[in-house]
């Protein structure tokens, strides 16, 4: 799915988070968004998936402005999106398998007797077939991220938005998540949007990198263009990593 955001504005009282932001997300590509803490990356993802309304601007999803849609009309669009939240978003009182089944139960897209089959299949895709009956508390951080990816996959999304998928993971586990994201993109053509602080993973995965600063995308280019940039803002951000 192609997504184009134009002139997005979003404030919380006098906190002007997005100030006329433009962003292009291309079908089948991996788009990475980088930017400092508190710059508005998570807010931007929530706008893109229609979880928060912008104050102004348009978000075209395959040409249709989703900011103009009613909650009901937004529903079939949102169903094509998967979101991996920054905090994982697993319910600790449910098993891994029950967590993965949540979206399927909520959306009632498949008969109940098919749910467990789909749960097995998606857990196998993220290499956690043997953890279905575990409680989330017994999993490592990377495993929890993978469970949350498996949960997003149950609805066969065309777009997946990942908020800091490798944050807090050791390098091998981060690499493991990167491979999974790349695999889903290459094998199933999932359009992917990744918010990250992890420049190694940004440069490895991205077709296009976008830098969010002062409420706007101030730079957009290939990983090579970013690496070679002499723009102070980009240079300083990358150098610190
Ligand atoms: N629901 C909300 N209500 C009020 N303010 C909010 C809300 N969500 C986010 N903010 C504010 O918007 C700003 C941007 O927050 P956001 O979570 O998007 O930052 P971020 O770039 O994702 O940061 P980090 O890298 O630390 O995750 C912050 O100042 C935050 O306090
Ligand atoms: Mg965030």
Residue 7 C-alpha to ligand 1 middle, in angstroms?
A: 19
Question: What is the DSSP pairing of strand 56-61 with strand 216-221?
Answer: unpaired
239 or 223, which is more confident? 223
Please name the residue whose Cα sits nearest to atom 14 of ligand 1.
Answer: 40
User: Who lines ligand 1 at CB under 6 A?
Assistant: 12, 15, 17, 35, 37-43, 86
Which residue out of 37, 38, 163 has the highest number of ligand 1 atoms within 8 Å of its CB and is therefore the one to mutate? Answer: 38
The DSSP code for 198 is -
Query: Does residue 165 sit within a domain?
Result: yes
Q: Is 197 left (phi over 0), alpha (psi -120 to 50) or beta?
A: alpha
Q: pLDDT digit string (tens) for 58-83?
A: 999 999 999 999 989 998 898 899 99
Crossing angle, helix 171-188 and helix 141-153, to 10 degrees?
10
Give 240's pLDDT tier (boundaries 50, 70, 90). low
Residue 97 scores a pLDDT above 60: yes
| Ligand 1 binding pocket mutation candidate from 17, 48, 197, 214 (most atoms within 8 A of CB) | 17
pLDDT tens per residue, range 107-133 = 888 899 999 999 999 999 889 999 999
Let me know if residue 137 belongs to a domain.
Answer: yes
Tokens standing for residue 113: 């007797």
8 and 113 assigned to the same domain: no
Q: Calculate how far, in angstroms, residue 167's C-alpha sits from the geometric centre of ligand 1.
A: 16
pLDDT of residue 197: 87
Q: Which domain holds residue 131?
A: 90-156
**59 lies in the same domain as 110:** no
pLDDT at 120: 96
- Residue 228 domain-assigned? yes
Indicate whether 85 belongs to any domain.
no
Task: Please indicate, yes or no, if residue 232 is contained in any of the structural domains.
Answer: yes
Give the number of domains in the chain. 2
Q: Say yes or no: 162 and 234 in one domain.
A: yes
Residues 59 and 161 in one domain: yes
For 173-219, the pLDDT digits (tens) are 889 899 999 999 999 999 999 999 888 899 999 999 999 999 999 99
Strand intervals (E) in the chain: 3-12, 15-25, 30-35, 56-61, 64-65, 81-84, 159-163, 191-195, 208-213, 216-221
- Supply the residue whose CA is at minimum distance from atom 19 of ligand 1: 38
Q: How far is Cα 19 from Cα 233, in angstroms, rounded to an integer? A: 18
Report angle CA 142, 204, 20 to the nearest 5 degrees: 95
Of 156, 178, 205, the position where a domain reaches its end is: 156
Residue nearest to atom 27 of ligand 1 (CA): 37
Show the tokens assigned to 89. Answer: 């978003």
Cα(43)–Cα(45) distance, rounded to whole angstroms? Answer: 5
Q: Do 113 and 7 fall into the same domain?
A: no
Decide if pLDDT at 99 tops 80: yes
Q: Which ligand is nearest to the CA of 38?
A: 1
Please report whether residue 109 resides in a domain. Answer: yes
Nearest ligand 1 atom, CA 46? 18
Whether residue 164 sits in one domain with residue 145: no
Q: Whose CA is nearest to atom 2 of ligand 1?
A: 12
User: Which residue has the CA at smallest separation from atom 16 of ligand 1?
Assistant: 40
CATH of residue 198: 3.40.50.300
**CA distance linking residue 102 with residue 140, whole number of Å:** 21
The domain boundary, picked from 156, 177, 202, lies at: 156
Q: How far apart are CA 58 and CA 189, in angstroms?
A: 25
Q: Which of 132, 156, 180 is the last residue of a domain?
A: 156
Residue 161 CA to residue 81 CA, distance in Å, equals 7
Look up residue 228 and give its DSSP letter. Answer: H
Asked whether residue 74 falls in the same domain as residue 163, the answer is: yes
């Amino acid at each position: 799915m192609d997504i184009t955001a134009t002139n997005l504005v979003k404030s919380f009282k006098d906190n002007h988070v997005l100030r006329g932001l433009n962003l292009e997300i291309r079908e089948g590509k991996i788009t990475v968004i980088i930017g400092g803490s508190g710059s508005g990356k998570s807010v931007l993802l929530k706008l893109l998936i229609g979880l928060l309304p912008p104050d102004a601007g348009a978000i075209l999803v395959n040409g249709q402005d989703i900011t103009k849609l009613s909650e009901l009309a937004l529903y079939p669009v949102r169903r094509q999106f998967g979101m991996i939240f920054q905090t994982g978003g697993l319910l600790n009182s449910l098993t891994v398998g029950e967590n993965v089944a949540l979206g399927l139960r909520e959306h009632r897209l498949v008969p109940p007797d098919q749910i467990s089959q789909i749960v097995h299949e998606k857990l196998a895709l993220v290499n956690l077939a043997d953890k279905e009956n575990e409680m989330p508390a017994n999993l490592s951080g990377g495993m929890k991220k993978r469970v949350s990816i498996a949960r997003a996959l149950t609805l066969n999304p065309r777009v997946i938005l990942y908020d800091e998928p490798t944050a807090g993971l050791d390098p091998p586990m981060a690499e493991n998540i990167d491979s999974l994201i790349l695999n889903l993109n290459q094998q199933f053509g999932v359009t992917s949007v990744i918010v990250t602080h992890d420049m190694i993973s940004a440069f490895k995965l991205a077709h296009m990198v976008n830098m969010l600063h002062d409420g706007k995308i101030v730079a957009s280019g290939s990983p090579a263009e970013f690496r070679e940039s002499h723009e102070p803002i980009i240079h300083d951000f990358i150098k610190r990593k």
